């Protein structure tokens, strides 16, 4: 799964830490660099034209794996803040400070050389700009290192690439813009001009900000900071930077795009403004994650206002731009008054005791919500044309019973009957036996957890399953059991020869597949060829199975042989 997450510095930390552990997720973090406060503002001034590194530095520490002591130490160094005494030491001897920072037995030699080189280059640039102890105090070492990378490459995106490539990160850090030295300005709820990002972040109004703009560095430097500019005056000077090629490629190839939580006017909305055209052309699923608490820039905002602020930057007037909108039941924003009911809003529990998003529960609810329509996950059962009516009736009674008594959101329906509601999955039953529908509930949980798009039912996982699958007299003897097992393995081998993939019991005729794949079921061989042609991720799982009475085993054997031949036609 190619997953894009729009994020700032800390709003999605727990989600990112969880996502980086999922082996099936290719994670791209799309970030803007308009942070301009404290040490970030100083490092931007020291490296003319550089974007703010703070949010990239924070995300770097989230996605760097911590399975080695060396990486744990790298994280500590990047997050380290320089004290007043250390500022004095730097002014006397940069080398002494760097040696003390990297003097750790757990730091591997390769990382030691990297940090030493770019911390030295970054400090040189910084001290050429200022030797003011007040400015150096509490400076982030990671920001200085990224400043050193920028000094060497002369390009912010290249500096990020060098950082990502060197440490072999579990995700990609991507700047949303290119050839960009812009800074952020805004207008408060009273239309008063706010000339820098620091004022935006520290805004203490009782209503959300009115608007924001991006101004190139040369225009910012010519502004009269004593003047209260109007929105129209600033709009004429503003630019929308070009989207970077890396951001464009990530969005175009995404399967799922998450619009994360965070400070809207500085961390998130500028990124949407830059990427809006490419986003509008994307067919990926889109999920908006609502903040748990007010921020200074969105104090006292309602859910309606929150959603519309995001839609405005994405140039959409329709709430269904987002496939789902995830909001915690305890969020102050969901509890705010709202004039509109959004049917794609999912109110759930994803907040931990610190009122931060719990990464595991947030991801679980995102995937679960995308698997449902109108609150249910509908599975339509497809039978082959040759199926007997008594078989369908057997399943119809069980379906009715399951749908009435289950506490799950999962519901079953025979394809072509009852409703025209879009299904989330198709369950193909081209077999001469009966399965347990409750097993499919477990299958759905597994597809959500591991992102499989199709599951093959494996009828003979154990000797007990084989005994239950057939009439016991067929498999009472060890010879019959071993022969049955041999046939099952031979079929798997033939499948492997045909498709270069080994799957248990591939011709079972029991298949679950996501409904977003456009196919028409015409038989087992055609379905298997469709699955492999489209490179759909498959998993074989055990299924409770019982062969119907009075099955013609000679006919079953002929069907098996015919299906094998058709696999190669």
Got the DSSP string for 333-356?
Answer: TTTS--S---TTEEEE--B-TTSS
| Strand locations in 296-419 (E) | 324-328, 345-348, 377-382, 410-414
**What pTM was computed for the model?**
0.90
Greatest Cα pair distance, the chain, in angstroms, is: 95
Return the DSSP state at 520: -
Q: Dihedral sign, CA of 191, 195, 197, 203? A: negative
Contact 390, 550 (CB under 8 A): no
Q: Dihedral sign, CA of 358, 360, 361, 365? A: positive
Name the CA radius of gyration of the chain, rounded: 29
Going residue by residue through the chain, which has 569 residues, state the pLDDT in tens, using 9 for 90 and above.
Answer: 999 999 999 999 999 999 999 989 999 999 999 988 778 889 999 998 899 999 999 999 999 988 889 999 999 999 999 999 999 999 999 999 999 999 877 899 999 999 999 999 999 999 999 898 888 988 999 999 999 999 999 999 999 999 989 998 889 999 999 989 999 999 999 999 998 877 887 888 888 999 999 999 999 889 987 888 999 999 999 999 999 999 999 999 999 999 999 999 999 999 999 999 999 999 999 999 999 999 989 999 999 999 999 999 999 988 899 999 999 999 999 876 554 577 899 999 999 999 999 999 999 999 999 998 878 999 999 999 888 888 898 899 999 999 988 778 899 999 988 767 789 999 999 998 889 999 999 999 999 989 999 999 998 877 677 766 766 655 556 776 777 778 888 999 999 999 999 999 999 999 999 998 988 999 999 999 999 999 999 999 999 888 887 777 788 889 889 999 999 98
CB within 8 A of 368, min separation 6: which ones?
448
Contact 131, 218 (CB under 8 A): no
Q: Which two tokens stand for residue 38?
A: 């404290």
What's residue 472's pLDDT? 60
Return the DSSP state at 81: B
Contact 539, 452 (CB under 8 A): yes
Q: How many whole angstroms separate alpha carbon 44 and alpha carbon 135?
A: 13
Report the SS3 class of residue 449: helix
What's residue 476's pLDDT? 59
Partners of 420 in the β-ladder: none
Partners of 457 in the β-ladder: 541
Q: Angle 109-129/141-153 helices, nearest 10 degrees?
A: 90
Per the listing, tokens 């409703």 go with: 419
Q: Which two tokens stand for residue 48?
A: 């003319």
Q: Dihedral sign, CA of 422, 425, 431, 435? A: negative
Beta carbons within 10 angstroms of residue 328's beta carbon: 26
- How many residues does this entry show for the chain? 569
Q: Which domains does the chain have, with CATH numbers?
A: 1-32+242-370 (3.40.50.10680), 36-168 (no CATH), 183-237 (no CATH), 377-567 (3.90.550)
Q: β-pairing, 193-194 with 183-187? A: antiparallel
The DSSP string of 462-516 is SHHHHHHHS-GGGSSSHHHHHHHHHHHHHHHHHHHHHHS---SSTTSSEEEEETT
Residue from 56, 4, 11 nearest 25 by CA: 4
Report the SS3 class of residue 116: helix
What's residue 538's pLDDT? 94
Beta carbons within 10 angstroms of residue 275's beta carbon: 26
Contact 327, 334 (CB under 8 A): yes
Beta carbons within 10 angstroms of residue 436's beta carbon: 14
Partners of 28 in the β-ladder: 4, 172
What's residue 339's pLDDT? 47
Return the DSSP state at 320: G
Count CA within 13 A, CB hemisphere, residue 306: 33
Residue from 177, 155, 167 nearest 61 by CA: 167
Question: Per residue in 212-250, is it b (16+ CB within 10 Å) or e — as a string?
Answer: bbbbeeebbeebeeeeebeeeebeebbeebebbebbbeb
Element (H, E) at 456: strand 454-458
Q: Which two tokens stand for residue 270?
A: 């500028």
Residue 271's alpha-carbon distances to 32, 51, 174, 255, in angstroms, are 6, 14, 11, 19
Q: How many whole angstroms separate alpha carbon 450 and alpha carbon 453?
A: 9
Residue from 207, 244, 262 nearest 10 by CA: 262
Residue 425's alpha-carbon distances to 63, 187, 348, 379, 432, in angstroms, are 33, 48, 23, 5, 21
Partners of 454 in the β-ladder: 513, 538
Question: Per residue in 50-70, is it b (16+ CB within 10 Å) or e — as a string?
Answer: bbbbbbbbbbbbbbbeeeeeb
Q: Which two tokens stand for residue 283?
A: 């067919």
């Amino acid at each position: 799964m190619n997953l894009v997450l729009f994020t700032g510095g800390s709003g999605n930390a727990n989600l990112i830490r969880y996502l980086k552990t999922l082996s099936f997720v290719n994670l791209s973090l799309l970030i803007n660099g308009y942070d301009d406060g404290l040490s970030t503002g100083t490092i931007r001034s020291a490296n003319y034209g550089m974007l703010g590194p703070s949010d990239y530095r924070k995300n770097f520490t989230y996605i760097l794996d911590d399975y080695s002591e060396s990486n744990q130490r790298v994280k500590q160094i990047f997050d380290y803040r320089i004290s007043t005494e250390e500022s004095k030491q730097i002014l006397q001897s940069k080398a002494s400070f760097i040696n003390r920072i990297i003097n750790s037995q757990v730091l591997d030699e390769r990382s030691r050389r990297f940090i030493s080189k770019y911390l030295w280059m970054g400090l040189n640039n910084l001290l050429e700009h200022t030797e003011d102890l007040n400015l150096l105090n509490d400076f982030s070492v990671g920001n200085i290192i990224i400043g050193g990378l920028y000094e060497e490459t002369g390009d912010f995106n290249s500096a990020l690439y060098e950082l990502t490539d060197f440490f072999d990160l579990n995700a990609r850090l991507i700047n949303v813009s290119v050839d960009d030295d812009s800074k952020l300005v805004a207008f408060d709820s009273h239309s008063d001009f706010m000339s820098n990002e620091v004022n935006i972040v520290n805004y203490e109004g009782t209503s959300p900000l009115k608007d924001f703009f991006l101004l190139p560095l040369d225009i910012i430097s010519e502004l009269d900071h004593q003047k209260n500019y109007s929105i129209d005056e600033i709009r004429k000077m503003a630019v929308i930077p070009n989207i970077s090629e890396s951001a464009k490629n990530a969005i175009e190839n995404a399967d799922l795009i998450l619009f994360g939580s965070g400070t809207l006017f500085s961390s998130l909305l500028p990124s949407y403004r830059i990427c809006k055209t490419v986003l509008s052309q994307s067919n990926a699923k889109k999920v908006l994650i609502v903040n748990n608490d007010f921020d200074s820039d969105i104090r006292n905002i309602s859910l309606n206002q929150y959603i519309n602020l995001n839609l405005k930057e994405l140039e959409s007037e329709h709430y269904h731009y987002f496939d789902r909108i995830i909001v915690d039941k305890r969020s102050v924003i969901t509890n705010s008054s709202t004039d509109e009911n959004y049917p794609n809003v999912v109110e759930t529990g994803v907040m931990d005791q610190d009122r931060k998003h719990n990464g595991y529960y947030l991801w679980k609810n995102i995937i679960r919500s995308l698997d449902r329509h109108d609150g249910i996950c509908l599975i339509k059962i497809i039978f082959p044309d040759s199926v007997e009516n008594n078989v369908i009736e057997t399943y119809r009674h069980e379906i009715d019973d399951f749908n009435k008594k289950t506490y799950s959101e999962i519901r079953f329906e025979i394809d072509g009957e009852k409703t025209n509601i879009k299904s989330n999955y198709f369950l193909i039953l081209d077999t001469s036996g009966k399965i347990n529908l409750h097993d499919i509930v477990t299958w759905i949980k597994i597809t959500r957890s591991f992102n499989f798009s199709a599951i093959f039912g494996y009828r003979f996982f154990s000797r007990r399953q084989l005994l239950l699958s057939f009439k016991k007299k067929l498999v009472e003897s060890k010879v019959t059991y071993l022969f049955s097992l041999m046939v099952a393995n031979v079929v798997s081998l033939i499948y492997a020869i045909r498709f270069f993939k080994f799957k248990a019991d591939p011709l079972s005729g029991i298949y679950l597949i996501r409904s977003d794949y456009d196919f028409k079921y015409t038989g087992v061989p055609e379905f298997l060829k469709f699955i492999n042609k489209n490179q759909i991720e498959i998993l074989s799982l055990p299924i409770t199975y019982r062969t119907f009475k009075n099955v013609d085993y000679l006919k079953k054997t002929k069907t098996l042989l015919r299906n094998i031949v058709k696999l190669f036609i």
